[in-house]
Amino acid sequence: MSGRVRWGVAGCGWVARDYVIPALLGAENCEVVALLDPDPAALAGAGRSLDAVRYGDTEAFFAAPEVDAVYVATPNHLHAPLVEAAAAAGKSVMCEKPVAPTLAEARRMVAACEAAGVSYATAFDQRYHAAHRRLRGLVEEGALGTVCSARVHYACWLPPGWAEDNWRVDPARAGAGRSWTSRRTGSTS
């Protein structure tokens, strides 16, 4: 792939709508040519001013010849099938973090991209967060001495009522082991 990259965005929730699509539109070498979401309201609300083809059907989206690369911005449990479909269609992929809810799914995704000869990347935006960059600088400067361990608490919790269908608090869809509730109560899920 060289020159201008024509992106298809799979998953038109708030991350895609408020961050990904504007970022792609702001890049000189990108354009958003296709959007995919099974929810008609999300599909209509994403990139309202875009002249992009809007798909509710996954098969038609991946068959679109105008799409060079796919940005996967869906709930975590949907990453693997979408990445595998993109790879099978010969489209490079950037997928939201985490790669997948399970290691087995992540391995399948990587294998599918390698077999198809397409590029794969995970969108780790926090790598460039100002606080993280400052901390890295302090470590490199030796200002913290010899760092032998670190513990990070990422305080970004969304209550179950945050959205009508909040997949982020459902361990079956979000992955990452036990839910917040089970950690608090000691039960397992």
pLDDT digits (tens, 9 = 90+) for 131-186: 889 999 999 999 999 999 988 776 666 666 666 666 666 777 777 554 334 444 44
- Residue 10 structure tokens: 């799979």
Which of 58, 131, 132 lies closest to 89 in space, CA to CA? 58
Which of 53, 90, 70 lies closest to 9 in space, CA to CA? 70
Rounded to whole angstroms, what are the CA distances from 114 to 5, 74, 85, 86, 141? Answer: 20, 22, 13, 12, 38
**Residues pairing with 53 in the sheet:** 34
Q: In terms of residues, how long is the chain?
A: 189
Burial category of 147 from C-beta neighbours within 10 Å (exposed 0-12, middle 13-18, buried 19 and up) = exposed
CA-CA distance, 6 to 52, in Å (whole number)?
Answer: 10
Burial category of 67 from C-beta neighbours within 10 Å (exposed 0-12, middle 13-18, buried 19 and up) = buried
Least confident residue range of 67-76, 88-97, 124-133, 180-189: 180-189
Task: Give the domain ranges of the chain.
Answer: 5-126, 129-185
Q: Model-level pTM?
A: 0.77
Architecture of domain 5-126: 3-Layer(aba) Sandwich (3.40)
pLDDT bin (cut points 50, 70, 90) of residue 67 is very high
In terms of DSSP H, where are the helices of 64-174? 79-88, 103-116, 130-141, 171-174
Least confident residue range of 49-53, 54-58, 166-170: 166-170
- Residue 50 structure tokens: 């875009």
End-to-end, the C-alpha distance of the chain in Å comes to 43
Least confident residue range of 40-54, 87-101, 113-127, 142-156: 142-156
pLDDT of residue 182: 41
H, E, C per residue of 40-68: HHHHHHCCCCCCCEEECCHHHHHHCCCCC
Q: Which residue has the higher pLDDT, 27 or 101?
A: 27
Over residues 38-43, the mean pLDDT reads 92
